[in-house]
Structure 1
């Protein structure tokens, strides 16, 4: 009886070891580690582990056992939440939307600052638990009431559920600020990655709700601001830099927009873009708006390939304003609150934020820009994950807290 179990154990061990060796080989064959990044060995190890989990998820999905996305979400839910005895943390629902409220225990004689936080994860991962420690840090460091929004995501929910959930949760919170002890004149919208783009979408939408308390400032951490031009300098320069490689970005964009992966090349090469549409948006989305120091001579041109009408018909819905807040009219942009923009040099989404920075400044909106030369996409999540934290992680977390404290 013991022999079959022994054979099974050896077989599984060999399988898992084989998959891990394959992911390590894939890592070294495909990944680029920029020289500016600190602790490259640790960086490589973390990416190999991430690639290993994704590979196992893909295998399980092909075997029809479990979807790759759910497998990733299972592992993220194992994250350790650190208790902060200086805060009261409450889980609740605004309608059907799960939210988590972080409130300082200390008594305050006046209303506190409020932070509405939208997590990142590309609609694939990210959760209230995953960003719990970051929200706890912001609540304590800035003496603020933080509302973290647990919006719906893949694999069951697609575009535009994220922006709708975040907007609805924000409206509910803004209507009840006094209940949570929040000063209506000091509410900040903050988000990371796709959550950063959602900050822009929500603050733009709230312009149409003049009766609600106004958002005092928006904090966009390495935000995703558009889903049209994937040939910006940062996309080309950082397409093989973890943790948001082109392959990961492709999966996130196509699955959230419900685009079949067979169209991914048309999406990222721009052949789906109708010439008239590009002429309409190029004044905002062209790499001409990126400062020269972020460009090099080896960049490929934008939208130079033949127009693919079939791809256009399949993908055209991704040019909507609910995906690309950078495309909204000037009159809306001019009414949004001041912004704190965080960019990382080694992030494919770097130029999304730079384009939005220009749009805001052109309309007279005050912008504070914080650029991290050794930063990479998603690094803020590691700010307290010793021994896997990086200097850039701590710098960004402290910079965000410092800015918010000044509100």
Structure 2
């Protein structure tokens, strides 16, 4: 009877674990739900294994270091049979990059793209993204620079922007060395990489010594860290809770490490309730103009949406973080004048808590007179573009649409 009891307990534990790993909430309308469950389950298993390894085997290592070690480490091949692209790792003004170049060129001076990878500014690397970036270089037949920026929490704001800007500046000022037309350079990135690409486009525009970026291709970018109660935040909190590819809590955790180099739980709690800024700042015309929920199409706003109050917040915390938040590189959506920005393709996902970051930025770019193609992929979740070993139809379409836009406008 005792052995039978242990078998029952074991089955119950395995059933509960299976439910946790492979049966998360999947809202109606999310495309290819079984693939989503599989990808999220594998992500959870990876986190669990990383935690076990960290607690048992890791020495002089943080959990984040251990988790990073779960990513593949082998160096991608420079040449692949049948490909017209050659890649190599280089140093651009102290920043490691992977440079992709066409072997046979159709033009004497080709267009180029600088790509910043996603991963919350903390995870992933240019090796993990090689499959995607090589594909982008191949399909566009251009020079592509994939940037290995420094990661949080070891390096906080603005280290990641500085590295991305150094690499971009190096390409623009040494374009002839790579047979690149400096007037036809794009920036691109997904998620946190989309945030970096957005900031870099603005920074290049502000530098009179550099030619302007021609095109930006942004895949579900984050563009602000002020408002965590947008319609898309409220939607995803209601549908997923803390069980999704990107959640309220994860964003607050990453934001804390971006600012302080550690998980500051008081700050995280204030961020999630929109109380990390002062009421007086929320009531300014600048805040209300730049972070404007009325820019979100009505059909994308859930029935239960509640406009966040502008009379709550923390004066004390705001004074602590004010200098960082007011830095023009911190929140590209807060830039007052968006005239002169590159031609822009902006992809957002229907089941993504930062969907509205991309929408508001796209709408404000349009209002400033820029050419913008914004596409919302209703059935997609955050991270759909890159999953390494599994393809999503909508993710494939998103990439094809972004590359088609780049090819036309470059």
Q: Counterpart in 2 of 1:391?
A: 393
Query: What displacement does 1:378 show?
Result: 1.0
- Separation (CA, whole Å) in 2 of partners of 1:318 and 1:51: 32
Preserved CA contact (<8 Å) 1:271 1:305: no
What's the counterpart of residue 67 of structure 2? 72
Task: Say if 2:351 is the partner of 1:346.
Answer: yes
* Change over 3 Å in CA distance of 1:317–1:397 after alignment to 2: same
* 323, 345, 369: which one aligns with 2:330: 323
- Pick the aligned partner of 2:305 from 299, 306, 313: 299
State the Cα distance separating 1:51 from its structure 2 match: 1.7
Does the CA contact (< 8 Å) of 1:86 and 1:106 recur in 2? yes
Equivalent in 214, 233, 256 of residue 254 of structure 1: 256
What are the equivalent positions in structure 2 for 1:224-239 lying under 5 Å apart? Answer: 224-239=222-237
2:129 pairs with one of 108, 131, 144: 131
State the SS of the aligned residue for 1:380: coil
The match for 2:314 is: 308
Between the aligned partners of 1:166 and 1:58, the Cα distance in structure 2 is 30
Deviates more, 1:370-379 or 1:347-356: 370-379
Contact 1:69 1:154 in 2 (8 A): no
Equivalent residue for 1:106, pick from 104, 107, 127: 104
Aligned counterpart, 1:401: 403
SS of corresponding position for 1:381: coil
Q: In terms of mean alpha carbon deviation, does 255-264 or 109-118 score higher?
A: 255-264
Alpha-carbon deviation of 1:21? 6.6
Q: Deviations over 1:210-238 (max 9, x none)?
A: 23222111111100100000000111112
Secondary structure of the residue aligned to 2:346 is strand
Q: Specify whether residues 294 and 349 from structure 1 end up closer, same or farther in structure 2 by C-alpha distance, changes over 3 A only.
A: same
Residues 250, 264 of structure 1: 8 Å contact kept: yes
Residue 38 in 1 paired to residue 31 in 2? yes
1:73–1:125 contact (8 Å) kept in structure 2: yes
- Pairing 1:8-407 to 2, within 5 Å after superposition: 24-26=18-20, 31-58=24-51, 65=59, 66-78=61-73, 81=76, 84=80, 85-239=83-237, 240=240, 242-258=244-260, 260-280=264-284, 281-303=287-309, 306-320=312-326, 321-330=328-337, 333-382=338-387, 385=389, 388-406=390-408, 407=410
Gaps of 5+ in 2: 1-10
What does residue 8 of structure 2 align with? none
**Is the alpha carbon distance of 1:59 and 1:266 closer, same or farther for their aligned partners in structure 2, counting shifts above 3 Å?**
farther
Say if 1:27 and 1:299 are closer, same or farther in 2 by CA, change over 3 A.
farther
2-structure distance, mates of 1:167, 1:102? 18
Specify the alignment match of 1:10 in structure 2: none
Give, in whole Å, the separation in 1 of the partners of 2:17 and 2:311. Answer: 33
Cα 1:51/1:119, change in 2 over 3 Å: same
Deviations 1:331-370 (Å, cap 9, x if unpaired)? xx10221111111111111100111112111111111112
Conserved 8 A contact 2:194-2:221: yes
Cα deviation digits, residues 364-388 of structure 1 (max 9, x gap): 1111112211211111113x62xx2
* Deviation of 1:80 (Å): 8.6
Deviation of the 1:246 alpha carbon: 2.2
CA 1:389–1:225: 2 relative to 1, 3 Å: same
Structure 1 contact 273–303 (Cα < 8 Å) conserved = no
Q: Distance in 1 between matches of 2:380 and 2:104?
A: 34
Following superposition, the deviation at residue 253 of structure 1 comes to 1.6
Over aligned residue pairs, what C-alpha RMSD do you find?
Answer: 2.5
Equivalent residue, structure 2, for 1:3: none
Equivalent residue for 1:6? none
Contact kept? 1:357, 1:367, Cα under 8 Å: yes
How many residues align structurally? 386
Query: Partners in 1 of 2:166 and 2:47 — Cα distance?
Result: 32
Q: How much does 1:181 deviate? A: 1.1
What is the deviation of 1:79? 7.4
